[in-house]
Amino acid sequence: MDAQDSKDTPGLTLRFLDRPDAPDLFLRIVRPAAPSVRLLFMHASLVHSEYYLPFAAQLARFGIETWLPDLRGHGRSAGTRGHTQAWRDPVQDVAAAWRAMCAEGPPALSLAGGESYGAFVTYCAIRSGDIAPDAAVFLSPAFGLHFHPSRLTWSLLSRLAWPAAGWVRPLLALPVGKVADNAAVRRMIDRDPLCNRRYTLGFLLHLLAAQRRVPVPDLDWRTRTLLLLSAEDPIVDNGASRAVFAGNAAVVSAVGTTGFHSLVADESPWLVEHLTQWICTLEAGTGRAHLGAIEPWPEHSPDAAPGRAPVLPSWPRP
């Protein structure tokens, strides 16, 4: 379904990505009249792609086409709600959406990224060679949580709880108070029946296992990356994100002012400014046309040669 009022209004496409051997994925695509950049953006946990439509509409003003899939078990996509059977599953979802986006034809620039859980899954898809974007953007990525199980605790969880209770869900729904300072966003999450607030223990264990296998620091990471963090993130551990990309010349980072988790919900203008200015530096480094009439931001100079992460087919699986 397409809806476009005028050439100055971005078009919205809603479709399902049919897959015979995997759950079908629901896609929202926000298209400007003449896109020069395509961005595959993965949602955080709890929510789904609809929450990023205002963000995508802002990006469309700068000629950025945004693809917003629902991961399996989230939003309107098929799959068991809030459960991960294997860590490769969400990574394959990212890869399937990426292939669909690439099938539209090559734009001037192709980016991939996401927020929180979506950012981490996208990192894994790039790291394993399932997708190869020109650059990546990670918002509050979930490289680590403030919950750090000890070796003994992890051994017990992985050997006993995982096989015996992987489908167990918590009695209480996950709280949303620390997700955003924006009361309207918190209220929407509370009332939205498509939001996941009761993930299985298996989902958490797969996430923790994948986090424990990330190289720290990731010296082989070569993809140009914009890393944006909340000032005092109460959900993910910013120190884990910094440790992964420590000393990496391909990564530009910035920190917002919010003490909550979601930059999209609380600092959208700041986020859009940083993202569009950073894309200008990428385009300047390749000789491509700039976004709109924005001048490159001196703070974000192209200080590393464009590149991509090496293909590592043996990405560790829990």
CB atoms within 10 A of CB 239: 12
Say whether pLDDT at 273 is over 60: yes
The pLDDT of residue 299: 35
* pTM of the predicted model as reported, rounded to 2 decimal places: 0.86
Say whether pLDDT at 132 is over 90: yes
For the chain, give the mean pLDDT.
84
Residue 23's contacts (CB-CB under 8 Å, 6 or more residues apart) are: 72, 73, 77, 78, 79
Q: Which of 55-64, 144-153, 200-209 has the highest mean pLDDT?
A: 55-64
Q: How does residue 160 score in pLDDT terms, banded at 50, 70 and 90?
A: low
Say whether pLDDT at 130 is over 90: yes
Q: How does residue 8 score in pLDDT terms, banded at 50, 70 and 90?
A: low
Mean pLDDT on 279-304: 49
3-state secondary structure at position 137: strand
Least confident of 48-52, 123-127, 183-187: 183-187
DSSP summary character for residue 228: E
Q: How does residue 289 score in pLDDT terms, banded at 50, 70 and 90?
A: very low
Domains and CATH numbers, the chain: 2-300 (3.40.50.1820)
> Which alpha helices (DSSP H) does the chain contain, by range?
53-60, 88-102, 117-127, 151-156, 162-165, 183-191, 201-212, 238-244, 263-266, 268-286
d(CA 57, CA 54): 5
The candidate with the shortest Cα–Cα distance to 236, out of 218, 263, 206, 197, is 263
pLDDT tens per residue, range 202-213: 898 899 889 989
Say whether pLDDT at 286 is over 70: no
% the chain with pLDDT above 90: 67
The pLDDT of residue 304: 30
The pLDDT of residue 297: 31
3-state secondary structure at position 232: coil
Residue 146's contacts (CB-CB under 8 Å, 6 or more residues apart) are: 234, 235, 236, 237
The pLDDT of residue 284: 65
pLDDT tens per residue, range 199-255: 998 898 899 889 989 999 999 999 999 999 999 899 999 999 999 999 999 999 999
